[in-house]
Amino acid sequence: MENIEHKHVEVRGLKLHVAEIGSGPKAVVFLHGFPEIWYTWRHQLVALADKGYRAIAIDFRGYGLSEQPADPEKDTFIDLVHDVVALLDSLAINKAFLIGKDFGALPAYLVAALHPERVSGVVTLGIPFMLPGPSAVQNHLLPEGFYISRWQEPGRAEADFGRFDVKTVIRNIYILFSRSEIPTAAPDQEIMDLFDPATPLPPGLSEEDLDVYASLYEKSGFRYPLRVPYRTLAVDCGITDPKVSAPSLLIVGEKDYVLKFPGMEDYIRTGAVKHFVPDLDITFIEDGSHFVHEQLAEKVNQLILTFLDKHAI
C-alpha cells in the first residue's frame, strides 16, 4: 500500500485523483462503485503490480479526491465513459484492461463498446452488461421501499443520510449491501433505518478501512454519487444495440443481493448477457457477497490475473 502513488490528472477540465502502482506496457484501470472509492481496489492494485502490470485506480468525478463538475445535475453515465477515454489519453495509454465493480461496470462495458480499439479486455464484479435507460432496473417490479427507488427521489436520501455522520452512513450501506437480500424499507422507514448497530462489519472491511472511506466521502459528499449512478440510471444514453467485442470476465458472488433484482439471475445464468458481450466468461464464487473483491481478495485476484495473463499482448 505504501508504494501506491497518488496524483491528480487533468481530464476534460477536471482534476481526477489517480492511485497508481507498477509499471510497464500492460495497463489496468479500475473503476469503483458506491459506496466505494479508489481504495476499494487496494488488494487488487498491489497484487497486479507484483505480477508486472501497471495498476491504476481512479476516483470518478465528484467522488473522493477528484474535483466536482460545475453542474453535477447535468451529468450522466456518458460523462464517465468520456472521462475514462480521456484519462487513457492523459496517461499516454493506448490500450488497457478495464475492471469495474458495481456501477463501475457500466462505463467499463460502454468504453469497450464505443471505443474497442482502446480496450484489451473487461472484468466486472457483480454487475453484468447493462445499458443505462428506462429498463436498466425494473423498479416497478420491486416494493416502494427499494433502495434505488428511494435514492432516486430528489432530497430523500439527502435527508436520510443527513441524520448521521459520513462514517456511519458508509458503515450502514456497507453492511446492508453485504447481505443477500435487496435493501428495502417499509413505508414508515428510510433506508438508514434498516441498519442494526449491533451488526459487525462484513469480512474484508476493518474500522481502519472504514476510516479511509469516510475521510474521502467527507471531502466529496454524496451529491454526485446520488446523481451518478442512481438518478441517471434510467436516463437513455443514446446507444442502440451495443456490442462488446473484447474478451470479458464477469465475477459474481453467489450471495450478492443484486442477483435478486428482477430478471438478473436468469440474464446471467442463461447466457442472455452474451447477446451484448459474446466473448464472456462467467464465474460464480460461493459465499461471495456484493464486496467479494474485499471479502475474498486472494480468490478474486487469482481469477483476474488468470484472465489478464491469458489476454495480455
Q: 311 catalytic, yes or no?
A: no
Segment 236-264 mean pLDDT: 96
Residues 6+ apart with CB under 8 A from 205: 174, 291, 294
Q: Coil, helix or strand for 96?
A: strand
Q: How far is CA 64 from the centre of its chain?
A: 14
Buried b (16+ CB within 10 A) or exposed e, 215-246: ebbebbebebbbbbbbbbbebebeeeeeebeb
Instruction: Answer with the residue of higher pLDDT: 254 or 313.
Output: 254
Domain parsing of the chain, residue ranges: 5-311
- Cell 487513457 -> residue: 88
Q: Is the pLDDT of residue 313 over 90?
A: no
**Rounded CA separation 7/20 (Å):** 8
Identity of residue 98: L
Q: Are 130 and 97 in contact (CB under 8 A)?
A: no
Sign of CA dihedral 284, 286, 291, 293: negative
For the chain, the straight-line distance linking the first and the last C-alpha, in angstroms and rounded, comes to 27
Q: Are 55 and 21 in contact (CB under 8 A)?
A: yes
**Rounded CA separation 212/19 (Å):** 14
Secondary structure letter of residue 34 according to DSSP: S
pTM for this prediction: 0.98
Q: Which CATH number fits domain 5-311: 3.30.200.20, 3.30.300.30, 3.40.630.10, 3.40.50.1820?
A: 3.40.50.1820
Q: How far is CA 289 from the centre of its chain?
A: 14
158-205 pLDDT, tens digit each: 999 999 999 999 999 999 999 999 999 999 999 999 999 899 999 999
Segment 283-305 mean pLDDT: 98
129-159 pLDDT, tens digit each: 999 998 888 899 999 999 999 999 999 999 9
Q: Is the pLDDT of residue 1 over 80?
A: no
Please state the length of the chain. 313
Q: 213 catalytic, yes or no?
A: no
**Rounded CA separation 259/177 (Å):** 12
- Cell 446492508 -> residue: 176
Segment 10-30 mean pLDDT: 97
Q: 230 catalytic, yes or no?
A: yes
**Rounded CA separation 292/285 (Å):** 8
Q: Are 225 and 213 in contact (CB under 8 A)?
A: no
Parallel, antiparallel, or unpaired for β 14-21 and 54-58?
antiparallel
Residues 6+ apart with CB under 8 A from 285: 251, 252, 253, 254, 292, 296, 299, 300
Residues 6+ apart with CB under 8 A from 201: 171, 174, 175, 207, 210
State the pLDDT at residue 293.
Answer: 98
Check 17, 32, 290, 293 and give the catalytic one: 290
Check 79, 230, 256, 257 and give the catalytic one: 230
Check 83, 102, 160, 256 and give the catalytic one: 102
Label residue 103 by pLDDT band (50, 70, 90). very high
**Rounded CA separation 31/36 (Å):** 10
